Amino acid sequence: MQISEYFPVYQKLTAEQQAQVDHFATLRSIQKGTVVHDASMGCTGFVLVRSGQLRTYMLSDEGREVTLYRLFDRDCCLFSASCMFSSLQVDVTMEAEKDSEIWILPASIYQQLMNESLAVANFTNELMATRMSDVMWLIEQIMWKSFDKRLAGFLLEESSIDGSEVIQMTHEKIANHLGTAREVVTRMLRYFQSEGMVKLTRGTIELTDIPALTALTNS
């Protein structure tokens, strides 16, 4: 499968532009845990996921994290090419959560396409709108949803992504996703366990009452 089958506006490019994408996009195989982009790297480029799973998060001065959104097969990310926009002052980190294959198109090439092609410019607008919706959803969660509901929702999402009722993830890692401290996660998980909603063992969390977790997150 070539980039032509993954890049959503490829068919709307001129032959010359298509040749540029083919030539300049590099396919990288990255292992779980690899940091693909962070603030220190400057402008990594436009990222398009062929397969795998990546996490985009913000990092505080004190090293705390909060997940902004995940990328799966065929998802694109612009924040790793934020230098293309003079108004975008955003530092995010992107890390592979599973072994992944991604295409990277240099920011200068993507920017040139954006300046030449209406299709690319408006595709970029839609992509920006998607990320904006993700981030606004996150604000709602942080501002107005109590932590038990957020944690229940996160466990259900993880279970759904992995297609398994057993989640293999440390409490520390969950805390990083949700932007809180490990102790807070551990305390709430123990409460969930006492209510029969999960079963905890070292390194795993088994969801034992999905209807109850679903009711909690939607309450």
Which residues bind to a copy of itself, rule: CB under 8 A?
58, 60-62, 64, 66, 82, 85-90, 114-118, 121-122, 124-133, 135-140, 142-144, 179
DSSP of 139-193, one letter per residue?
HHHHHHS-HHHHHHHHHHHHHHHHT-SEEE--HHHHHHHHTS-HHHHHHHHHHHH
**Residue 216 Cβ, how far from a copy of itself at the closest point, in Å?**
16
Nearer to a copy of itself, 119 or 200 (CB): 119
Of residues 63 and 211, the one with the C-beta less far from a copy of itself: 63
144 vs 201 by CB, closer to a copy of itself:
144
Report the distance separating Cα 35 and Cα 12, nearest Å: 32
Q: Which two tokens stand for residue 132?
A: 């904006």
Distance, CA of 146 to CA of 75 (rounded, Å): 30
How far apart are alpha carbons 48 and 24 in whole angstroms? 13
Do 206 and 166 contact (CB within 8 A), yes or no?
Answer: yes
By C-beta, is 167 or 174 nearer to a copy of itself?
Answer: 174
Q: How far is the CB of 60 from a copy of itself (least distance, A)?
A: 4
Closest alpha carbon to 84 in 43, 53, 37: 43
Indicate the residue among 27 and 129 with the shorter CB distance to a copy of itself: 129
Minimum CB separation from a copy of itself for residue 77, in Å?
A: 13
CB 117 within 8 A of CB 124: no
Q: C-beta of 16: minimal distance to a copy of itself in Å?
A: 17
Q: Which residue, 21 or 76, has its beta carbon nearer to a copy of itself?
A: 76
Please report how close the Cβ of residue 80 comes to a copy of itself at its closest, in angstroms: 14
| Shortest reach from residue 200's CB to a copy of itself, in Å | 26
Distance, in Å, from the CA atom of 79 to the CA atom of 38, rounded to the nearest integer, reads 10
Structural tokens at position 154: 């996160």
